[in-house]
Amino acid sequence: MHTEILKADREGILAAAAVLRRGGLVAMPTETVYGLAADGLNPEAVREIYRVKGRPQDNPLILHIASLDSLFPLVKTGPESERALRRLSGRFWPGPLTVVLPRSGLVPDVITAGGPTVAIRMPSHPVARALIEAAGRPIAAPSANLSGKPSPTTLRDVTDDLSGLVPAILDGGDCAVGVESTVIDLTRRPYDVLRPGGISREALSDALGEEVGDASRPRDGAPPRSPGMKYRHYAPATPLTGLVGSGEDSLRYLSSLPRAEAMAAVVFDEYREAAEALGYRVLAYGREADHDSHARLLFRTLRQADRLGADRIYIQISPERRGRGDAVFNRLSRSTGGDLVYLAGK
């Protein structure tokens, strides 16, 4: 299949909307990561998303909307959940927050993986908004990576995965947030974060005036309430080891390892030169305390690191969970397949 790279001008957006309306797929930029978009009310089109990504059938999709009015036909709300929804949408929409609510009959089974709830988000990226408006319907859009790989946050990364597999990719440059949306469950109280992301749990609790729980780390044996969390995900092809602790502690760890020349290291900016001096092939993803930068650069840096041809990649990980630190930690525990070295006190 020929893949057209569309400029994100009026003409490109209208061309992309026409592809969506006839049941085709379009990779579109959002402020979180690139999404693989389809008409969310067309089950055939949505099934194509699963096929192209190689996505497990039981992993539901998020519907993207451009106005609050278009949410209500898709969900069932009560007085409590509507109050919570209005508080959250007033504060965080458009933006990187997804709400889970009981679904209405309008939502196809293939969106919810047959479940009774639906996940909905209003993105802030101007190109995503314009595309949803031009398509005139809710748009299903998981991250635009092939299943298991790091989510694409640049045109190059989305093209690497999807060129030849979809009719069109809209060029929106680099994604600003870099990790996916936070998913919050509004179907029961206390409300819980199912997946950490662009909006922190502290900010959600503050907006709701009550403590929001953390259900993103289910206890052993319990099935995850966010189905996507059970799969190996966000992983580079090269084995990846996470070093959790201060930059200084992880540098000491890196300096104790043999054969640095065949190894790559993703470090905080402050440690770039020291890691290079040890012989590592080095990439940096922001200053040690800058969790927004870690989030923004994480996935593109993992993909870059893969291209260095190293036998293993080490990555410095801040133990701080404030702000986007929580989402970065969550993604990296998945990317490493749990291969984390905790350095505190070592």
Interface ranges with Mg ion (CB under 5 A): 143
- Please provide residue 132's backbone torsions phi and psi, each rounded to the nearest 5 degrees: -65, -40
Residue in the shown chain whose Cβ atom is closest to Mg ion: 143
Q: Which amino acid is present at 269? A: D
Q: Would you say 56 and 231 are in contact if contact means Cβ atoms under 8 Å apart?
A: yes
Q: Give the residue with the Cβ less far from Mg ion, 143 or 159.
A: 143
Q: Give the residue with the Cβ less far from ligand AMP, 128 or 251.
A: 128
Q: Which H helix or E strand runs over 109?
A: helix 109-112
Does position 119 interact with ligand AMP (CB under 6 A)? The reply is: yes
Residue in the shown chain whose Cβ atom is closest to ligand AMP: 228
Provide the edge-to-edge strand list for the sheet that holds 281-284: 281-284, 263-267, 312-317, 240-244, 340-342
Q: Give the residue with the Cβ less far from ligand AMP, 219 or 259.
A: 219
Q: Would you say 291 and 200 are in contact if contact means Cβ atoms under 8 Å apart?
A: no
- Pairing of the two strands 97-102 and 240-244: unpaired
Sign (positive or negative) of CA dihedral 261, 266, 269, 270: negative
Q: Which amino acid is present at 77? A: T
Does position 227 interact with ligand AMP (CB under 6 A)? The reply is: yes
Least separation, in Å, of the C-beta of 151 and Mg ion?
A: 6
Distances in Å between the Cα of 29 and the Cα atoms of 66, 84, 152, 302, 344 are: 14, 28, 9, 19, 38
Does position 142 interact with ligand AMP (CB under 6 A)? The reply is: yes
Size of the residue set binding ligand AMP (CB under 6 A): 19
Work out the number of other CB atoms within 10 angstroms of the CB of residue 172: 23
Does position 300 interact with ligand AMP (CB under 6 A)? The reply is: no
Q: Which of 12, 60, 138, 178 binds ligand AMP (CB under 6 A)?
A: 60
From 4-12, 110-118, 275-283, 332-340, span contacting ligand AMP (CB under 6 A): 110-118
Q: Which amino acid is present at 73? A: P
Which 3 state secondary structure label does DSSP give 118?
Answer: strand
Token pair in block for residue 8: 């994100």
Which option in Mg ion, ligand AMP, none does residue 226 bind, with CB closer than 5 to 8 A by kind? ligand AMP
Least separation, in Å, of the C-beta of 178 and ligand AMP?
A: 13
Q: Which H helix or E strand runs over 214?
A: strand 213-214
Does position 62 interact with ligand AMP (CB under 6 A)? The reply is: yes
Least separation, in Å, of the C-beta of 59 and ligand AMP?
A: 5
Q: Per-residue x/- marks for ligand AMP, 149-188, CB under 6 A?
A: -------------------------------x--x-----
Does position 279 interact with ligand AMP (CB under 6 A)? The reply is: no
Interacting residues with ligand AMP (CB under 6 A): 59-60, 62, 100, 112, 115, 117-119, 142-143, 180, 183, 194-195, 226-229
